[in-house]
Structure 1
Amino acid sequence: MDAVRFENSLLSSPFPSPNVAALLKIKIISWSQETGFPVSLCVRVADRTFNLHKFPLISKSGYFARTLGESNEIKLPKDFPGGAETFEMISLFIYGSSSLVDPLNVAALRCAAEFLEMTEDYCSGNLCQRFDIYLNQVVLQSWDDTLIVLQKCQTLLPWAEDLLIVSRCIESLAFMSCMEILDPERRRNQPVVTLEALSSRAWSCQKVKDIVRQDLWIKDLIALPFGFFKRIIGSLRRQGMREKYVSPIVLFYADKWILSNKTRQSSDDTSSKDLTVFRGVISLLPTGEKASKLIPVGFYFSLLSKSLQFGRATNKIQAKLSDQIASILHAAYLDDFLFPASGSDLISSSTELATMENIFSTYVSSNMDSDYIHSLNNSVVAELWDAYLKNIATDPKMSSKRIMDLVETVPMSSRQNHDHLYHVLDTFLQVHKDLTQEEKARVCKDLKCQKLSPEVCIQAVQNDLMPLRLVVQALFVQQLNTHEALKECSDSFRYEPHSKEFSGSLSRSQTLAESPSYANGETGSRGLNLFPQQKDSALQRSELSRKDYESTSSRIQSLEQELTALKTRLEMQIISKARNSRSSRSRNLESGQKRNQMRSCTGSVNFSSQWKHASRLLKLFKRLSLFSRRAHRKANSDLGPQAM
């Protein structure tokens, strides 16, 4: 087989990479046979040596024409673009082959041709021009080819940057991304990814990955090194892509390279790279009002959590993120918040708690206005804070003053409902059962039973950990709630025979028109049977009220027994004190008798006041119990035998 046929067989080889060394050898032999000149030049590249003809090189390369003199040996520098493999392919092109260029090697070939000065000044149609044409007309017209070339440019800097290969690839990718959004040919069968799917839930890395899979072009962009990615984001904005499409790309990149657990490593070099990328991503995010409308608050919390891992190196970033979170805190979810590590013994002094406290304090200082919208937001923020404190209150080392300070971080006026606050204090008291009644009362001083839901109010009545003052207040509120519930239940079924109408929430015309009996002309005393669903609902509410009544009555009876025992002890102490006073007066002198009388009187007054206080409380509980029984009997009589 001659040289030409062997060369053609190698070029048509089914393998993806033809044997370049064999092809070059064939070209060298063919050129020697055609010209009759042997090889006369030795070129060393790294650890390889190439024996070539001198004339083809100096006729197409300004570098060889300038450096080759009388010596027939030359050594290329270590930073030669692409190394020995690229020079081998350049040599093949010098000998006339042009079949091996592709997106995988064109960047290296273009940089090597520039290094060797293979321009039009030395030969028409030289390699620099040919590779530029291939880049512009082939590579930059294809998304996949452009990505391949851009990735290969990482090892060709600064040559690829100086030759504008990187810039041309970045601008091409940005342009094709904009076309993907615009979709002029209507090829998309699904909407473009935005952050709307993430704004209605806590931030989730897995959810982000699922969303990214919907658009492969976004997946390709976030796989690039940060230096290239940053320039693509800038190009997207310059070319007019709307921010609601640009911001998700930045968030997805941060999730992949910063927030994902798989990328966290402990080496100093990796930490330095992560910190650089972290700061760069922060700089790419939109700021101000635009950021609050586009970026979920959970993402900012995730970045803030990551910044705490970097420590003091990100203090300014932490302050910036905290302020941004405070401006949109009402849109957060409890799962987004920063919680101390599970099992930590320093919850009350943890960095996470201090950071959260600072965020809520910032919100309070800048958003506590009196208008309606801010009032709603303030109520949401207060509930979030109380829900967060419920998890913090489990710290056994937290002092009473500390939990009170944390509760008062958000003003009490912002709490429209105290259910979450009750659970915070209940959790704290369960962990600190050794507190005195005075300490418990001081901790619970801001809790208002009037702002508790009926269910939580029942819990407060039956909670032995709560201070007595709060239990009495809860009893009053619970009795009123029970009375209102029974009254509402009885009013819903009251039938007036004279007016032939129900006094509930439905009018006679409405209820009877919807009844099948009305069509048959049936009215009168059978009216109650026309509303089976309403009757069942009312009976359920009656049953619930009865259970509330029974639980409250049980609590009242236990308190009555405690107060009766207290009253008995006080009476016995008064009798014993009086007897001691009479016996001492019979034995002492007149002056001593006067002092004992004064002490006896003083002691009697003290015990008497305590006895009167206990008697008043006992009368109060009896009235509450009597009031509850009357309300219960009245509701049962209004409901009739169906409610029994």
Structure 2
Amino acid sequence: MEEDSSSSSCNLEVDVNGEEVFFVNKEILLSFSGKLRKLFGKLSGKAKNLKLIFHDLPGGAKGFELMAKFCYNNGKAEINPSNIAVLHCVAFFMEMNQDISGAAQNLIEQTELSLKEISYWSWSELIEALKQCQSFSAGADSSGLLQKLLDSVVGRLVSTSDESVSTASPDSSGIRFSCDTRSTESFKNCYARTNWWFDDLVVLNPEWIEKVMKSMVSLKFDNGVISRFLLYYQKTRLSGVTLEVKCKIAETVIDLLSSLDHSSVPYKSLFGILRVTLGLNISKSCRNKLEGMIGSQLDQATMDNLLVPSPPGVNFLYDVNLVIRLLKSFLLGGTSWVSSIRLKKVAKIIDLYIAEVAPDPCLKSSKFVALVMALPDSARESYDEIYRSIDMYLEVHGGLSEEEKTIICSTLNYEKLSVEACKHLAQNSKFPATTAVQLLSSQQSKLKSLLQETSEPIFSSELSCTYSEIDNKGYKDKDFNHIVHYAKKLDLSTENEKLKENLQGMQWRVMELEKVCRKMQNQMAKIINSKASTTPSTPRSLPRMCS
């Protein structure tokens, strides 16, 4: 460090952040730095061998050298975008807001004045200043410099997105082109230009990315572009960093994505983030946000999405607990807001998932039951798939108690089983004996419901119903004959004599139902013949029969 001719010899040794040691004139620096005046104010001017150690001086050795040159040049310095970040932060750190040397302006005033020209900086100058600030982020934040830079960056991005798309970046704002949809190449270029700034900002730390993105969201920046950047940011920054940094990046990305319009976030990408976080100890609130975003759109999921491996320490092959939580998120607020189509779509995916996890020998019966019961009964039109999964689960878990089997089988809705499933169940020795009783009771209720419907007046003044309509409702007499046939094969104990009587009653009702149907057919034929004979000359169409 060169010394002014009028000054005394160097009498202060300064160790800057362990990087470099400087020997300077104490009095020259004290005339500009309030911090040094506080430190040495009580010492005698003749004191020798003074040493000062800084551990966190902004800009390190370079920052101290720029500051010292300013002092040695009697308060004069060349300030430009390449050094203003360091000078501004050092000036605040050294409390250079006044001087006793007679200089026109102190260093803080000079850097503040230069920062007023920030709107004229090029994009690359802005990014370079931001990069410099990352090494002394605390000083940049406390001095207000960081906010000025971030505001300028966001303003530049918003203005370029509002205007016609630039060819490359805001630096070339003098020449702009609009997207010509008639040209495929032009369209591709326009799409690429929306992402031109990704690589420039991806170097910023998570805290600053959070500030930038929140500002962009508040200014109504395109959520789709923000979403793409955040996914790019995570993919680019996760390699080569510590677990702690990975957690911070993942949490920042998840928090920011949750603040966007969910339709702007690719659903498949959410599962990608989920898999990345499996080995990370992210916060519970952050994980809940991610699962909430996934669960609210569960009808878009695929089987591959849901087959997430279990976390360490859990014996299940797949993370069943996760899927149960996703289902709860999907149904959050009740089924009233979930359309029937979306609900049934989720049920199909979940039934496939249940079939996939049922053979897992480590899957507890309580988890299996919770998975089946997570959706309301109205979500499934048929329980055949659930029956097959239960059959497989009982096959693999042969050591279950009768009580556990009964609880598992209670998840079935017997009225929504096909005839084929009922036939298989009636002969299935893996199911507990009580299941057969429940099956018969269910089918008896189904038959009672049918008889109640057929007991109402069938004909009105016009022909309103035929036997074929009963067939279309699914109440065919052959179905009941199947039920009776399979029920006869059951080995019922003496305790179920009453059930046998009910079964005989069911057979009698089926016979009566057949008689009613034949009578309806005869009446229908008479009505048709009667109307045809009374109006031979004037053709008239009969009311269309239900078919």
Aligned-pair CA distance for 1:165: 1.3
| Aligned residues of 2:246 and 2:280 also touching (Cα < 8 A) | no
Alignment of 1:350-389 (within 5 A): 352-361=319-328, 363-364=330-331, 366-369=333-336, 374-389=339-354
TM-score for the superposition, normalised by structure 1: 0.49
Q: Deviations over 1:248-306 (max 9, x none)?
A: 4444445555xx5x4685xxxx44x555555555543445xx64433344455555666
**Contact 2:254 / 2:289 at 8 angstroms: preserved in 1?**
no
Q: How do 1:78-97 residues align onto structure 2 when only pairs under 5 Å count?
A: 78=54, 79-96=56-73
Identity within the alignment, %: 21
- Out of 241, 256, 266, the position equivalent to 1:284 is 256
> 5 Å matches for 1:185-334?
186-187=166-167, 215-254=195-234, 260=238, 262=239, 270-271=243-244, 275=247, 278-286=250-258, 291-301=261-271, 314-334=283-303
Cα distance, 1:168 vs. partner? 0.9
Match of 2:139 among 159, 168, 178: 159
Match of 1:117 in 2: 96
Change (3 A) 1:296 1:53: closer
1:30-69 to 2 correspondences below 5 Å: 32=5, 37=6, 39-46=8-15, 48-51=21-24
> Partner letter of residue 23 of structure 2?
F
How far 1:223 sits from its partner (Å)? 2.8
Letter in 2 for 1:328: Q
Distance change >3 Å, CA 444–CA 96, structure 1 → 2: closer
Query: Gapped runs of 5+ residues in structure 1?
Result: 1-23, 192-210, 471-562, 568-605, 610-644
Give distance in 1, aligned partners of 2:411 and 2:140.
Answer: 69
- Given the alignment of the two structures, is residue 182 of structure 1 paired with residue 147 of structure 2, yes or no? no
In the alignment, is the contact (CA less than 8 A) between 2:254 and 2:290 conserved in 1? no
Alignment: residue pair count: 406
User: Counterpart in 1 of 2:360?
Assistant: 395
Output the amino acid matched with 1:171.
D
Deviations 1:409-455 (A, max 9, x none): 3345423466754764575466458999xx79959965867599xxx
Q: Secondary structure at the match of 2:13?
A: strand
Distance 1:298 1:466, change over 3 A: farther
Letter in 1 for 2:357: I
Map residues 400-479 of structure 1 onto 2, 5 A cutoff.
Answer: 403=368, 406-416=371-381, 421=386, 424-425=389-390, 427-428=392-393, 431=396, 450=418
CA distance in 2, matches of 1:399, 1:275: 31
Q: CA separation in 2, counterparts of 1:161 and 1:403? A: 52
| Alpha-carbon spacing, 1:405–1:215, altered in 2? closer, same or farther (3 Å) | closer
**What amino acid sits opposite 1:396 in the alignment?**
P
Deviation for aligned residue 1:166: 0.8
8 Å CA contact 2:258–2:293 kept in 1: the answer is no
Q: Does 1:70 align with 2:56?
A: no
The answer to whether the Cα contact below 8 Å between 1:307 and 1:317 also exists between their aligned partners in 2 is: no
Tell me if the contact between 1:140 and 1:146 (Cα under 8 Å) persists in the aligned partners: no
Q: Please, what is the CA RMSD of the aligned residues?
A: 5.4
AA in 1 matched with 2:374: T
Q: What's the secondary structure of 2:221's corresponding residue?
A: coil
* Distance in structure 1 (CA, Å) of the matches to 2:26 and 2:378: 91
Contact 1:103–1:145 (Cα < 8 Å) also in 2: yes
Q: CA deviation at 1:381?
A: 0.4
What amino acid sits opposite 2:96 in the alignment? Answer: E
Larger radius of gyration: 1
AA matched with 1:50: F
Distance 1:65 1:124 in 2: 20
Moved more, 180-189 or 384-393: 180-189
8 Å contact from structure 1 (residues 308, 318) kept in 2:
no
Shift of residue 92 of structure 1? Answer: 3.5
Letter in 2 for 1:169: L
- Match of 1:153, SS state, is helix
**Residue identity in the other structure for 1:173:** V
TM-score by length of 2: 0.57
Residue 106 of structure 1 is matched in structure 2 by 84
CA contact (8 A) 2:97 2:107 kept: yes
